[in-house]
């Protein structure tokens, strides 16, 4: 967005109440202008032509045409930043994850009262601002051909050498992400074999959606993926995702890692926070055996923790700017020296695999990750 120009927002929702509350919430920020509203996709189509908004908020369950169908058509013909407003239900979670696959930038759980929307107002403002600066890619049906799985094809996975099965129990992979991260994590995890060391992940996500997200990935990956429960053991072939609304910490217990799932105040306005996971990993001695990275996302969360990990011997990376939806967290990590390298999204899986191949073949270790 150019300096001094307000972000123009179109709100699409069949509920007049939600349209009003969302408009009121966004009007509180002087950098945002709600230029119009629409009660269904057909009206939205006309409003798009008339008003040329920068960002669109989209309900997924509407009359005449559902939001997913509209989103698919929109991302094919007029790609633009879209924030999904979804109901806090299992079906709403499934629809939201599919919307993110189709190209939506971010999402927000739809509140059921004015007071709860008031609480979500600052989040909606932040998401609109991030969306306005996001990279948006057109939806290409040919590149995402439907398969038997409802969430699309699984990318090809590079093979891990069979001799790499026996990992040091201290070995661990740590990942953090925010805006655009659900699809970035899908891209990475679906390319990984099932015999890597355990993985601990923090994705900024509301509690209602985190289990659906983990379940979705579990159906796509060779790895087992699940929402973390307090006390879960981190084992090879398992990826644990922090539950929305809770922090996740790493602890070393005799001969293995366990996660703690706790409350506590938000960090960088986030709970779960990446910094909580990364700093706990550094403090429990994981750093010399860890590879940790930050994927796409707005804000600064994770950079401090990543720097602490690097200073204690971890191999660290950040997703590169060109492949990020929002180059925020990775940018801070790179500019602060927390990340040793920047890597395109489609090479992160191979990078992780190479790291643990080199651990079993020391003669190749210098080629896996430049310092």
Question: d(Cα 273, Cα 267) in Å, to the nearest integer?
Answer: 6
Residue 269 is a catalytic residue: no
The one catalytic residue among 301, 320, 323, 358: 301
| Max Cα distance, the chain (Å) | 65
The span from the CA of 108 to the CA of 280, in Å, is 28
Q: Which position among 87, 164, 204, 289 bears the catalytic label?
A: 204
Q: How far apart are CA 303 and CA 337, in angstroms?
A: 9
Catalytic site includes residue 346: no
Known active-site residue 13: no
Contacts 24+ apart (CB under 8 A), 65-71: 65/40, 65/41, 67/12, 67/41, 67/95, 67/99, 68/95, 68/98, 68/99, 68/102, 69/41, 70/12, 70/41, 70/44, 71/99, 71/102, 71/103, 71/104
Measure the CA–CA gap between 14 and 60, rounded to whole angstroms: 9
Active site residues: 178, 204, 301
């Amino acid at each position: 967005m150019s300096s001094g120009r307000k972000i123009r927002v179109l709100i699409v929702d069949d509920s007049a109440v939600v349209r009003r509350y969302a408009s009121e919430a966004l009007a509180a920020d002087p950098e945002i202008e709600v230029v119009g509203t629409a009660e269904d996709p057909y009206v939205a189509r006309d409003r798009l032509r008339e008003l040329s908004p920068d960002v669109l908020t989209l309900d997924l369950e509407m009359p005449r045409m559902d939001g997913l169908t509209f989103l698919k058509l929109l991302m094919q013909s007029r790609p633009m930043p879209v924030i999904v407003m979804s109901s806090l239900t299992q079906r709403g979670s499934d629809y939201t994850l599919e919307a993110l696959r189709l190209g939506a930038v971010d999402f927000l759980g739809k509140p059921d009262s004015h007071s709860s929307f008031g609480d979500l107002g600052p989040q909606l403002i932040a998401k609109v601002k991030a969306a306005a600066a996001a990279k948006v890619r057109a939806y290409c049906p040919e590149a995402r051909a439907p398969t038997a799985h409802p969430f699309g094809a699984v990318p090809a996975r590079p093979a891990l050498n069979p001799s790499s099965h026996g990992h040091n129990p201290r070995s661990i992979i740590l990942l953090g992400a925010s805006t655009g991260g659900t699809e970035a994590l899908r891209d990475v995890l679906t390319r990984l074999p099932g015999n890597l060391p355990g993985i601990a992940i923090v994705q900024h996500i509301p509690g209602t959606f985190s289990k659906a997200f983990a379940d979705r990935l579990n159906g796509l990956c060779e790895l087992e993926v699940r929402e973390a429960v307090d006390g879960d053991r981190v084992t090879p072939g398992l990826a644990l995702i922090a539950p929305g609304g809770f922090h996740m910490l790493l602890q070393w217990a005799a001969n293995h890692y366990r996660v703690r799932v706790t409350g506590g105040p938000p960090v960088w306005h986030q709970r779960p926070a990446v910094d909580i996971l990364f700093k706990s990993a550094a403090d429990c001695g994981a750093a010399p055996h860890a590879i940790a990275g930050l994927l796409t996302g707005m804000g600064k969360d994770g950079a401090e923790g990543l720097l602490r990990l690097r200073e204690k011997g971890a191999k660290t990376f950040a997703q590169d700017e060109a492949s990020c939806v929002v180059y925020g967290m990775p940018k801070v990590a790179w500019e602060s020296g927390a990340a040793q390298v920047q890597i395109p999204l489609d090479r992160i899986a191979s990078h992780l695999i190479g790291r643990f191949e080199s651990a079993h073949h020391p003669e190749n270790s210098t080629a896996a990750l430049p310092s």
